[in-house]
């Protein structure tokens, strides 16, 4: 499979080059040249396959030519070493729990998959220059990437995060690993981190010295494996015999976009709901037809505080930039922090389920859509374990949340981060 740039001014390239570069030289996002639907039998018999086989079949065409089948199977087996259960919390409303991985964030799968792909490429070519993964995080990406890439040979990781804007647990997860992982604490908001990262990728004085790549959902190896979740959900929910609606708490729109790739591969999905916090660029776009990015605002679902969702352009491409066609398949609703808190409370009071703020936004969007489509079966994605957002959860829900082992482990470790303020600080750090 080859990949082209959505800006149309860069050469078509292989999976390996697209993963290693992250973003195309013309600043465009890479997009697969062709998406061929899987045979009908794949979805008809999906219950008979284990998760590893589903994932292998699903991603095979995207990786073909770059990673041999036996290596790909080994990578998948290693990456998917935990469960993705569906938990029904009300009649016809279920949550897909994506937080059972090592950092309890759904980004674990993408980060681990990408790390292992880069590890494979580096192993293939011993003379290859080391790669530096440069990544901005609004919360959960950092931890998942740090953990996913820890001790991968030939790869260094530099993570930028907004000071004071991520939870304690999130901060610990990205600042305590050491080895090939470095954390930069930025005096600013997520968008500042993101724009510094983007600028570094275009700065020849840096790229001539260090080979940089991204590990945000901009990177195809981080983005594409997320389609597995939707297939695992389909496998579990198919028995209800109803059309499925997915509500995805969205920030950079990588996860929902991967779900739409699953749909393009032939998976039956009635509708997608992009549930967002007060950062309402996409709901506004679906109302007005105008895409108008804005500076992000801080919310309690901080992993979705994004004012210019990078992957939305890929979603538009999946629908051939046809606004009408996209509108038939995608709805998007925005919720305030007050509504999010209230949803966390109601869900807990009525069902006993503890949702994190992101999952609660997903729940709200799903319920809103199901009001007019009561015949469907709805699944909202629970993208982080509630313990990752403990201050909010404790404030809203009167229940002791048990701290899982993988979280306890990092809490006792010491934070190591370098404070930076400006782009020049970042540059100096990278050229040090
Ligand atoms: C990253 C993240 C999201 C948003 O995912 P996108 O792919 O950026 O839309 C939602 N919830 C949590 C907990 C996250 O970490």
Helices assigned H by DSSP within 208-280: 220-223, 227-237, 254-264
pLDDT at 216: 80
Pocket test for ligand 1, best of 141, 255, 384 (most atoms within 8 A of CB): 255
User: What is the helix (H) or strand (E) element at residue 201, kind and residue range?
Assistant: helix 190-201
User: CA 69 to CA 255: how far, in whole Å?
Assistant: 25
Interval between CA 83 and ligand 1 midpoint (Å): 18
244 domain-assigned: yes
68 domain-assigned: no
Number of domains in the chain: 1
Residue 418 burial (CB count, 10 A): 15
Interval between CA 167 and ligand 1 midpoint (Å): 14
232 domain-assigned: yes
Q: How would DSSP label each residue in 138-176?
A: SSHHHHHHHHHHTT-TTEEEEEEEETTSS-HHHHHHHHS
42 domain-assigned: no
pLDDT at 60: 98
Residue nearest to atom 11 of ligand 1 (CA): 383
pLDDT at 140: 77
Residue ranges around ligand 1 (CB below 6 Å): 105, 107, 139-140, 217, 249-255, 303-304, 358, 383-384
316 domain-assigned: yes
User: CA 158 to CA 154: how far, in whole Å?
Assistant: 14
CATH code of the domain in which 264 resides: 3.40.50.1100
* Contacts of 63 by beta carbon, 8 Å cutoff, 6+ apart: 1, 15, 72, 117
Catalogue the long-range contacts made by 426-432 (C-beta closer than 8 Å, 24 or more residues apart).
Answer: 426/160, 426/184, 426/196, 426/200, 427/200, 427/203, 427/205, 427/206, 429/158, 429/184, 430/132, 430/134, 430/158, 430/200, 430/206, 430/209, 430/210, 431/205, 431/206, 431/209, 431/210
* Contacts of 56 by beta carbon, 8 Å cutoff, 6+ apart: 69, 72, 73, 76
User: CA 273 to CA 247: how far, in whole Å?
Assistant: 4
- Whole-prediction pTM: 0.94
Residue nearest to atom 15 of ligand 1 (CA): 140
Atom of ligand 1 nearest to the CA of 253: 9
User: CA 268 to CA 43: how far, in whole Å?
Assistant: 8
367 domain-assigned: yes
pLDDT at 201: 87
Interval between CA 248 and ligand 1 midpoint (Å): 9
User: CA 144 to CA 140: how far, in whole Å?
Assistant: 6
Which range marks the domain in which residue 366 is found? 83-104+222-401
User: CA 350 to CA 352: how far, in whole Å?
Assistant: 6
Per-residue pLDDT in tens (0 to 9) along the chain, 432 residues: 999 999 999 999 999 999 998 889 898 999 999 999 999 999 999 999 999 999 999 999 999 999 999 999 999 999 999 999 999 999 999 999 999 999 998 999 999 999 999 999 988 877 677 899 999 987 778 889 999 999 998 899 999 999 998 888 889 999 999 999 999 999 998 889 988 998 998 899 999 999 998 888 889 999 999 999 999 999 999 999 999 999 999 999 999 999 999 999 999 999 999 999 999 999 999 999 999 999 989 899 988 989 999 999 999 999 999 999 999 999 999 999 999 999 999 999 999 999 999 999 999 999 999 999 999 999 999 999 999 888 899 999 988 888 888 888 888 899 999 999 999 999 999 998
pLDDT at 85: 98
Cα→Cα distances 34→62, 161, 332, 361, Å? 9, 35, 27, 33
What's the gap between Cα 152 and its chain centre? 21
Interval between CA 250 and ligand 1 midpoint (Å): 6
Interval between CA 333 and ligand 1 midpoint (Å): 16
209 domain-assigned: no
The pair phi, psi for residue 92, each rounded to 5°, is 65, 15
- Using the structure block, give the residue that is written with the tokens 């040249």: 33
In terms of Cα–Cα distance, which of 117, 120, 52 is closest to 80?
A: 52
Cα-Cα-Cα-Cα dihedral sign, residues 158, 187, 223, 169: positive
User: CA 196 to CA 343: how far, in whole Å?
Assistant: 35
Beta bridge partners of 177: none
21 domain-assigned: no
Interval between CA 392 and ligand 1 midpoint (Å): 17
Residue nearest to atom 14 of ligand 1 (CA): 303
Residue nearest to atom 8 of ligand 1 (CA): 252
């Amino acid at each position: 499979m080859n990949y082209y740039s959505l800006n149309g001014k860069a050469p078509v390239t292989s999976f390996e080059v697209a993963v290693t570069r992250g973003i195309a030289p013309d600043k465009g996002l890479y997009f697969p040249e062709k998406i061929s639907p899987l045979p009908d039998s794949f979805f008809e018999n999906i219950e008979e396959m284990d998760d590893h086989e589903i994932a292998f079949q699903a991603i095979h065409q995207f990786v073909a030519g770059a990673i041999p089948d036996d290596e790909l199977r080994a990578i998948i087996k290693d990456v998917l070493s935990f469960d993705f259960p569906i938990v029904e919390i009300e009649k016809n409303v279920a949550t897909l729990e994506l937080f059972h991985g090592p950092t309890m964030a759904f980004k674990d799968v993408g980060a681990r998959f990408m790390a292992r792909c880069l590890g494979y490429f580096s192993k293939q070519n011993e003379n290859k220059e080391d790669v530096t993964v440069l990544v901005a995080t609004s919360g959960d990406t950092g931890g998942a990437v740090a953990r996913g890439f820890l001790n991968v040979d030939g790869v260094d990781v530099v993570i930028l995060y907004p000071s004071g804007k991520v939870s304690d647990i999130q901060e610990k997860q990205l600042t305590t690993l050491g080895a090939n992982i470095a954390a930069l604490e930025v005096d600013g908001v997520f968008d500042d981190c993101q724009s510094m990262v983007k600028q570094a990728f275009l700065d020849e004085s840096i790229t001539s010295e260090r080979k940089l790549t991204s590990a945000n959902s901009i990177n195809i190896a981080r983005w594409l494996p997320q389609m597995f979740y939707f297939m695992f959900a389909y496998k579990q929910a198919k028995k209800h015999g109803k059309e499925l609606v997915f509500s995805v708490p969205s920030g950079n729109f990588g996860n929902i976009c991967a779900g739409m790739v699953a749909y393009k591969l032939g998976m039956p999905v009635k509708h997608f709901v992009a549930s967002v916090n007060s950062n309402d660029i996409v709901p506004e776009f679906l109302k007005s037809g105008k895409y108008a990015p804005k500076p992000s605002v801080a919310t309690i679902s901080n992993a979705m505080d994004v004012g210019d969702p990078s992957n939305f352009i890929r979603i538009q491409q999946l629908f051939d930039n046809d606004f009408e066609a996209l509108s038939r398949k995608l709805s998007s609703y925005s919720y305030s922090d007050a509504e999010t808190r209230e949803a966390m409370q109601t869900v807990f009071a009525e069902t006993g389920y503890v949702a994190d703020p992101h999952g609660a936004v997903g729940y709200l969007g799903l319920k809103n859509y199901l009001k007019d489509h009561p015949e469907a079966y709805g699944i909202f994605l629970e993208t982080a374990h509630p313990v990752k957002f403990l201050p909010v959860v404790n404030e809203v829900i009167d229940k002791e949340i048990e701290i899982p082992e993988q979280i306890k482990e990092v809490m006792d470790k010491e934070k190591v981060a370098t404070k930076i303020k400006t782009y020049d600080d970042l540059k100096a750090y990278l050229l040090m």
